């Protein structure tokens, strides 16, 4: 992993990029397909014991390409690195990059932030069926490439966004919506 990282170090982190990654890593016995790099503003290592090292340390770890958008804000990069990815766990499973917003008038649940926020795929899976039989209910999700899908209840499951070809809307079954979501997460992942 370190040899791969060193050989590709020019492509990781540019101006305003807080989590860099390079696809193509292959390590026998592991499913990782990328090497990721966290910049000092994200990782904060050495702050307590040797703060002079923090600004010159980049943390390199094995990763999955589906975990990164390449456009994470500083707050998003910190959340991904410190709470969501667990980079020190060599046997970890992938945590695909996904953002979501939702509203469920039936239960009163929904997003409180403007726009879509980072979340775990299991949360999106959990929320997709929830707006059933609740007029105005929706789940909107964004994958790592910035493609957005919106599923809403209007007497049936209506899909709009990237997968429906843009402004067109089409009706799907709940299983088809979940299949579409899983496919959206796998973009950039090894088949």
Going residue by residue through the chain, which has 191 residues, state the pLDDT in tens, using 9 for 90 and above: 777 777 766 666 666 788 889 888 998 999 999 999 988 888 878 777 887 887 777 889 999 999 999 899 999 999 999 999 999 999 999 999 999 999 988 888 898 888 899 999 999 999 998 888 888 889 999 999 999 999 998 888 888 876 555 556 678 888 888 998 999 998 755 43
pTM of the complete model: 0.85
CA distance 156 to 159: 10
Domain that holds residue 26: 2-84
Residues 106 and 174 occupy one common structural domain = yes
Structurally, how many domains does the chain consist of?
2
Q: Which two tokens stand for residue 138?
A: 């929706």
Residues 137 and 177 occupy one common structural domain = yes
Residues 116 and 143 occupy one common structural domain = yes
Dihedrals φ, ψ of 81, to 5°? -70, -50
Residues 30 and 75 occupy one common structural domain = yes
Let me know if residue 91 belongs to a domain: no
């Amino acid at each position: 992993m370190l040899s791969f990282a060193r050989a590709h170090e020019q492509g990781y982190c540019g101006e305003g990029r807080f989590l860099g990654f390079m696809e193509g890593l292959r390590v026998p016995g592991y499913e990782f397909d990328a090497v990721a790099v966290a910049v000092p503003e994200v990782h904060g290592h050495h702050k307590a014991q040797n703060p002079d090292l923090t600004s010159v340390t980049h943390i390199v770890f094995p990763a999955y390409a589906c975990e990164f958008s390449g456009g994470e804000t500083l707050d998003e990069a910190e959340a991904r690195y410190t709470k969501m990815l667990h980079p020190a766990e060599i046997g970890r499973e992938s945590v695909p990059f996904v953002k979501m917003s939702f509203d469920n008038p039936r239960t009163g649940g929904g997003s409180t932030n403007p726009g879509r926020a980072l979340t775990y795929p299991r949360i999106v899976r959990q929320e997709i069926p929830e707006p059933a039989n609740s007029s105005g209910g929706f789940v909107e999700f964004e994958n790592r490439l910035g493609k957005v899908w919106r599923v809403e209840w209007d007497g049936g499951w209506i899909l709009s966004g990237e997968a429906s070809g843009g402004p067109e809307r089409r009706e799907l079954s709940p299983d088809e919506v979940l299949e579409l979501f899983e496919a959206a997460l796998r973009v950039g992942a090894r088949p």
